Amino acid sequence: MTRRLPHAQWCRVKSCRCLFSCWRHAEELDWHLRRLGLADLSARNIVGPNAESLALEDLSPKDGELVGRVRAWIKERFGSPAEVWNVIDAKQAGSLDREGWTSSCLAAGFNGTVEELHYLFQFVDIDEGRTINKEEILFLEVDSQARDKAIFEEKMKSKGQLERLWASVYWSELHKEHSPLSRTALRPWLAPEFEALPPLVILKRQHRLREVRRIQRQSKSKFLQFLCQKYGSCARAWRRGIDPDGHFFADKLTLRHFCRQHELDRRVHMHSLWTTLDSDSDGKISLQDISPLGAVALASFRAWCRRKCGSCRAVWSLPEMEKARASPQLSLNGDSQLISVKKMFIGNFVESLKALGWICAGDQAEMLSALDFFNAGFISQADLYWLDTWEPQLFLISEPSEEAWSEVKSILLEKYGSPLHAWRGLDLDGQNEVSWTEFVAGCRRIRFKGDVGAAWRFIDNDASGFISMEEFSPDIYNVLMSFKQWASRLYGSVGNAFKNFDKEGNGTLTLSILRRSCQKGKWSGDAQQLFQCLGPAHSWQDPAKKLITVDDVVFLDLWPDKETEDKLDDEESCRSPSPKSDSRPRSLKKKAPTSTTECMAQSSPKLVGSSAWAS
């Protein structure tokens, strides 16, 4: 560079003890020159009118050589300034003074003098706060693009910590019982700014999901309760009310028409009801969505009839059945008598079937109520015609087989390596529920050639049409849900907890970091078991791959809360006339949550203290 200063003035610049500060503040060089008592000089005098940049070597070759030597040492010994900081900040204080910087660099193997390190400290301490932090030392990165990226990420991490602190304070104040006129009350015009903070956005999203699931289950409970009160059973309600034409499926318009006809649309949330019943999102519902165990019993009876006589209506013409109709039939309580060749009392019908070798599978009362169309206590041949027109799904007519399920599970574990990854290979949408359709698709992907229906019936023992991780691997499920509940209570979500654990901001966690974070937050679970569950398949076989990423844990935020499920199960069991058939929880699958911001103010605070958010 052509030096445009007279020799005397250039000596004044070089004699300044803050050449590093002048150079690092090159964009405000004129201001720093005035601050240093060099008001008669300007940046143009130093760099020239046509120069586009100012190198440190232009100001002081000796200082430039020192900085270059430090950068080369960092690159050769550690790889990056971030790794240097991890070494010299052994106590994880987050900042170092001049003496701490000097002693740490010498201990780390820097080949230089104490005076040089003191001089470098001024170079790194750009804000002149007498301490340096990780963001400031990142300036020593050799690669300019990597340097800019690292500084930006460090600033964003600091911003995230500050946002979590603000969110914690706002959340705590929001749930204090202050009068609106109090001086300490929150100001309404500040609320939008705070509620836009990412930690609170995540927290409100979790509340909305919980509220949506609560409304769904409440709507279904009221709906099934009405069916039982009006028709006596859910199976008969399907046949007489919802599907009187015998299509064995109903779309959303049909269900809405039925609810309007009985003024149910005023008592239940229609969209939530449909979402709960149509959980596989195929646009239609069927008998097993209304009465699962009743559907199993009807499908089993239909299969037995087809094996015995070829069809259900053919059973009606068997000699044993004709003989039972030819003689007088008594009702169950013995107060009425029936002589008819076209009808049979339910009791006589069941006795005749048992004499033929029939054994009921599923809910016998639901099955008989579906065949008893008028709820009059008798069955006709037309009822068997109705059953013949039904084509049940494969799993409804399959016998449970532990051997088939063990074969499916062993193939999944062999392919994916761990129970959690095997489960996620089935649960592609991450909602912790796998429907029959998803299970069949998963078996095709692993090329399972056995009895898919028998394997499904073994794991789906309540015939709900869904399985969860709790049924697939109870031990792993309990560990994951314990961690999810702890992380949600302390940090708002699992994803937010991961960001708090990841102090370096590199998007990965080791077992030691995870264990230390869990111990700090007083989580009572096994951190090593959790790490092995979440980590990549077979990761513990290769030490270089013993890391988990945010993608390995964030799916837990989509899983329904265990406490909420248990509570809703208890509520539905108390209110539902048929708890076995409709008490199984169903989570939101592939549906967008509705906005319920009021639940933030109405619910009790679960996030306490600011240290958990900003740690």
pLDDT tens for 470-511 read 999 999 999 999 999 888 877 778 888 888 888 777 788 888
252 and 298 both lie in a single domain: no
Q: Which carries the bigger pLDDT value, residue 599 or residue 96?
A: 96
Q: Which two tokens stand for residue 300?
A: 């089993």
302-310 mean pLDDT? 93
Please say which residue of 290, 316, 334 terminates a domain: 290
204 and 241 both lie in a single domain: yes
For residue 297, being part of any structural domain is answered with yes
Count: domains in the chain: 4
413 and 351 both lie in a single domain: no
For residue 177, being part of any structural domain is answered with no
438 and 390 both lie in a single domain: no
The pTM is what? 0.63
For residue 253, being part of any structural domain is answered with yes
406 and 447 both lie in a single domain: yes
Q: What pLDDT is attached to residue 503?
A: 78
For residue 343, being part of any structural domain is answered with yes
| C-alpha–C-alpha distance, residues 35 and 18, integer Å | 11
**Could you tell me if 495 and 550 are in contact, meaning their C-beta atoms sit under 8 angstroms apart?**
yes
Parallel, antiparallel, or unpaired for β 337-338 and 329-330? antiparallel
Q: Which carries the bigger pLDDT value, residue 426 or residue 138?
A: 426
| C-alpha–C-alpha distance, residues 154 and 231, integer Å | 65
For residue 159, being part of any structural domain is answered with no
285 and 301 both lie in a single domain: no
359 and 452 both lie in a single domain: no
pLDDT, one tens digit per residue, over 242-266 is 999 999 999 999 999 999 999 998 9
Please say which residue of 376, 395, 414 terminates a domain: 395
Q: Which two tokens stand for residue 456?
A: 């499904």
Q: What pLDDT is attached to residue 264?
A: 92
48 and 124 both lie in a single domain: yes
Average pLDDT, the chain: 77
Please say which residue of 92, 117, 140 terminates a domain: 140
pLDDT, one tens digit per residue, over 520-544 is 888 888 898 899 888 775 544 554 4
**Could you tell me if 273 and 219 are in contact, meaning their C-beta atoms sit under 8 angstroms apart?**
yes
Question: What is the percentage of the chain residues whose pLDDT exceeds 70?
Answer: 74
- pLDDT class of 546 with cuts at 50, 70, 90: confident
Q: What pLDDT is attached to residue 491?
A: 77
334 and 420 both lie in a single domain: no
39 and 125 both lie in a single domain: yes
For residue 213, being part of any structural domain is answered with yes
Most confident of 48-57, 198-207, 386-395: 386-395
For residue 425, being part of any structural domain is answered with yes
123-141 mean pLDDT? 73
**Could you tell me if 411 and 461 are in contact, meaning their C-beta atoms sit under 8 angstroms apart?**
no
564-576 mean pLDDT? 44
| C-alpha–C-alpha distance, residues 223 and 226, integer Å | 5
pLDDT, one tens digit per residue, over 155-209 is 656 666 677 677 777 777 776 777 777 777 777 777 777 777 777 777 777 778 8
Q: Give the torsion through C-alpha atoms of 550, 555, 560, 562, to 10 deg.
A: -60
For residue 157, being part of any structural domain is answered with no
Give the domain extent around 440.
401-460
**Could you tell me if 481 and 428 are in contact, meaning their C-beta atoms sit under 8 angstroms apart?**
no
pLDDT at 10 over 80: no
39 and 135 both lie in a single domain: yes
